[in-house]
């Protein structure tokens, strides 16, 4: 289990660059889809990132946790917003999602997200 989420994004970014070189059309299409999904429309980009990390929790995807936690921390997601997303993710996914929710919180904090008050 990877807990260095900052390092994980770096490692994955390197491999994603390799994939981009070898299957550029697929990666271009994926990038266009990601860009279209992130537009500010009925849902804000931050709301969409919260949905994305919730799906990452359900799918138990550590790379998803890392990249979406990084984006949320950069967007100024509050701890309260993050915790409510975890609440829904745990409700929808039960015990396995609870464990992955704890990992998502670790990733969010690793990227400078707000830590719990002491």
Structure tokens at 118: 């002491």
How does residue 74 score in pLDDT terms, banded at 50, 70 and 90? Answer: very high
Please report, for the domain that includes residue 54, its CATH number: 1.20.1290.10
- 77 occurs within a structural domain: yes
Interior angle at CA 46, CA 76 and CA 10, nearest 5: 70
- 116 occurs within a structural domain: no
Q: What is the mean pLDDT of residues 31-40?
A: 95
Summarize pLDDT for 40-55 with one digit per residue, the tens: 999 999 999 999 999 9
Quick one: which of 71, 75, 63 has its CA closest to 100? Answer: 63
Residue 2 pLDDT > 70: no
Interacting residues of 70 by C-beta distance below 8 A, sequence separation 6+: 5, 9, 107, 111
- 115 occurs within a structural domain: no
pTM (predicted TM-score): 0.87
pLDDT score for 3 = 84
* Domain around 104: 5-110
- 85 occurs within a structural domain: yes
């Amino acid at each position: 289990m990877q807990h260095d989420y900052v390092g994980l994004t770096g490692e994955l970014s390197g491999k994603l660059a390799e994939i981009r070189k070898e299957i550029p059309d697929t990666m271009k299409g994926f990038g266009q889809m990601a860009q279209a999904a992130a537009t500010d429309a009925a849902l804000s980009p931050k709301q969409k990132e919260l949905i994305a990390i919730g799906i990452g929790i359900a799918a138990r995807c550590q790379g998803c946790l890392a990249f979406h936690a990084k984006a949320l921390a950069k967007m100024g997601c509050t701890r309260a917003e993050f915790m409510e997303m975890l609440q829904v993710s745990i409700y929808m996914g039960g015990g396995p999602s609870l464990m992955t929710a704890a990992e998502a919180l670790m990733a969010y904090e690793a990227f400078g997200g707000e830590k719990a008050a002491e």
